[in-house]
Chains A and B, each alone.
Chain A
Amino acid sequence: MLEHVWLIPLFPAIGFLINGLFGRSLGKKVVSWVGPSVIGLSFLTSILIFRELIGRPPAERHFEKVIFDWVVSGSFQTVIGYQIDPLSILMALVVSGVSFFIHIYSVGYMHDDPGFTRYFTYLNLFVFMMLNLILANNFLLMFVGWEGVGLCSYLLIGFWYEKDSASNAGKKAFVVNRVGDFGFLLGIFLLFINFGTLDFTDIFGPLQKNPHLINTATATTITILLFIGACGKSAQIPIYVWLPDAMEGPTPVSSLIHAATMVTAGVYMVARCNVLYSMAPISMAIVAIVGVATAIYTASIGFCQNDIKKVLAYSTISQLGYMFLGVGVGAFSAGIFHLMTHAFFKGLLFLGAGSIMHALSGELDMRKMGALRKKIPYTFWTFFIATLAIAGIPGLSGFFSKDEILWQAFSSSHGHWLLWAVAAVAAGMTAFYMFRALFMTFFGESRVDEHVAHHVHESPKIMTVPLMVLAVLSVIGGYIGVPHVLGGANHIHEFLAPVLGGGAESAKAHAGISIVSQAWASGSEAGGHSTALEFVMMAISVVIALIGIGIAYLFYVKNPALPKLAAEKWKRLYKLVYNKYYVDELYEILFINSLKNLGTGLWKGFDEFVIDGTINGIAYFIGLLSGVMRKMQTGLVQNYAFSMILGGIVLAAYYIVRAIFY
């Protein structure tokens, strides 16, 4: 089965071609079958491959399949090839699985949209590109997938392109992502210069055995450049601004691309390059700090948003910050674990938001919701489960993954108690704003508009079933990573160990080089933490989450007048947060306007004056010269004949003179 890894990305590609080329003539019905089923086939293939992979001993869980040579030019050789290892197959499972359910959901959600076929074409293309990104065995193919998902993201954000805001948001996402891609590409160039290849195995393999292949400075530069790419794709400070605007797209798109899969590509990439990152402690620190700063910063913005999708968007950025904190403190498997659980519960939250919009005729403003609990029970319960999961309530998936990251942030050699403290506060804030959203939507008094309230209805089965599946996953997804301290086996950590090393557990050494060697020498267990401390930390984070929930309850159920009072009291602070710290406006002034001015300057000053001036000047000069020269054309044929003969005489005279004198 491993031989057939190429089937995983092939199925969505086939779906893309069928829907894209023939979708219009095949009709909605066929498209709605083709779209999800190709993803289902991918999912199935992933499961089969996964089963075969876990049948092998851990050390042999690596397989590469080269499809064909892609670029062969001198010393530069790149193939189209896929690799299967624990990390990539886990990602493939999550991506194809979550995509599958979101595709099914979309059939119901997009049912009446005129762009139905186009939607599924883009969505299938997206999954194809995403799987390429994940399964690629070299940086270049990964980059193709990386750009491909960016393209699909752009197409799907601007899916309703008649709306100005949607097409602008698409453009913004595309342009902001370019900034990150620039860094990623430079990182790839540096890798090629230093290693002469872009193959993962050819770079990381020798590097594990001999970390002295490159010095720390080079490793730091490469990893920082790669991280800039990750920042763009995964919406981290300072280039996170595109993700909230990306909510202009259809809600299942927000769920699939801007919550569950694409935006986690940055985390995946950092985890994939863990060998490099482990060699560059400075980069690790930057990743962790950026991650935790993003986590708390965007969580605070989530406090004051009234658009339910915007709340979820900021929450996504915040959770991505957690993942980066995880990988930044060397807990790569914890980051990937959180990536997986987040895909479940955040995907579910977005689908739930879509279901709410469906019930309320497209209403997004939480101030116009409320008391929907009884009216749309399936949506409510699944949304509730996801909210519990993201808030970190013990027993649900989010608890295990988030706690793992928090613990590692505290205990790992790359960690620091300050990182832990900030992340823990952010966790409490997450609990607060998520329960705020939950309470504003489903509890309290109904603030729904008169005419909307009449036809509030639960979504059809095709939408609620995916909700339920994801809800189940949100609950049980965490049990593959129950930490040892709770009596679990931390299966995911063990499973990922061949790729990600022992992770933070064994990364106790201080210097980068010894981290790598030790990480690869010892399996997953180094132990040595005090169990009691881990319990205390766990309890603290649970208490913080409960406090957040309690405050949300107080503010939005018990005493709904309180938020307004608070807003009045801290008016300036509220306004600042409500306007998202004016970052968009700041960027407008700093970058957009200055770039516009530069552009205008180049246009008027350089293009029009220098370039056009040179061209026009030359033309004018030639014109003048020609004005003089053209007088020679008298139009009298005998003049021409005369000059010809004169020329002949001169020539003859020359030869005669030469013959005589020499």
Chain B
Amino acid sequence: MTIPNVPPECYLVLSGILFTIGVIGALTRRNAIVVFMCIELMLNAVNITFIALSRFLQSLDGVLFAFFVIAVAAAEAAVGLAIFVMIYRSRETINVDEINILKW
């Protein structure tokens, strides 16, 4: 199968769009799980950049990094979701607005 000749700029633009969506989502959404999903989105936007540039530069470094990011994201998901469960049990909400006792 031949891969259509997509110029690298497209990948980077796609990655930029995804990343921006992730940032805006992480900053504006109230539900912690959605915020979390947005963070995953940002991570994967970066992954796209890595892969695209890896291909473009004919180097495996980017692929390697992408794997790391995936591994870290998986670990983060496990820990993060466990934290959300615990927070929900004690406060009966996972709304980040209401989880604000760590302040002046």
Q: Is the interface of A mostly helix, strand, loop or mixed?
A: helix
Residue A75 at the chain B interface, CB threshold 8 Å: no
Most buried by A among B28, B96, B97, B104: B104
Q: Is the pair B27, A633 in contact by a Cβ cutoff of 8 Å?
A: no
Residue A636 at the chain B interface, CB threshold 8 Å: yes
Q: Is the pair A637, B23 in contact by a Cβ cutoff of 8 Å?
A: no
Residue B102 at the chain A interface, CB threshold 8 Å: yes
Residue B26 at the chain A interface, CB threshold 8 Å: yes
Residue A658 at the chain B interface, CB threshold 8 Å: no
Once the chains are docked, how many angstroms separate the CA of A633 from the CA of B103? Answer: 5
Contacts of B90 in A (CB 8 A): none
Contacts of B79 in A (CB 8 A): none
Q: In the complex, which range does the number of interface residues on chain A fall in? A: 10 to 19
Q: Is the pair A635, B103 in contact by a Cβ cutoff of 8 Å?
A: yes
Q: Is the interface of B mostly helix, strand, loop or mixed?
A: loop
Q: Is the pair A638, B27 in contact by a Cβ cutoff of 8 Å?
A: yes
Contacts of B102 in A (CB 8 A): 633, 635
Number of interface residues of B (CB under 8 A): 13
Once the chains are docked, how many angstroms separate the CA of A635 from the CA of B101? Answer: 6
Q: Is the pair A633, B26 in contact by a Cβ cutoff of 8 Å?
A: no
Residue B81 at the chain A interface, CB threshold 8 Å: no
B14-71: which residues lie under 8 A (CB-CB) from chain A?
Answer: 23, 26-28, 35
Q: Is the pair A636, B96 in contact by a Cβ cutoff of 8 Å?
A: yes
Contacts of A638 in B (CB 8 A): 26-28, 35, 96
Q: Is the pair A645, B23 in contact by a Cβ cutoff of 8 Å?
A: yes
Once the chains are docked, how many angstroms separate the CA of A635 from the CA of B99? Answer: 8
Residue B100 at the chain A interface, CB threshold 8 Å: yes
Instruction: Annotate A633-651 by CB proximity to B: 1 below 8 A, 0 otherwise.
Output: 1111110011001000000
Contacts of B103 in A (CB 8 A): 633-636
Once the chains are docked, how many angstroms separate the CA of A635 from the CA of B98? Answer: 9
B76-104: which residues lie under 8 A (CB-CB) from chain A?
Answer: 96-97, 99-104
Residue A163 at the chain B interface, CB threshold 8 Å: no
Q: Is the pair A637, B99 in contact by a Cβ cutoff of 8 Å?
A: yes
Q: Give the contacting residue for B97; candidates A631, A633, A636, A642; CB below 8 A.
A: A636
Contacts of A569 in B (CB 8 A): none
Contacts of B23 in A (CB 8 A): 645
Residue A630 at the chain B interface, CB threshold 8 Å: yes
B19 shortest CB reach to chain A, Å: 10
Contacts of A637 in B (CB 8 A): 96, 99
Contacts of B35 in A (CB 8 A): 638
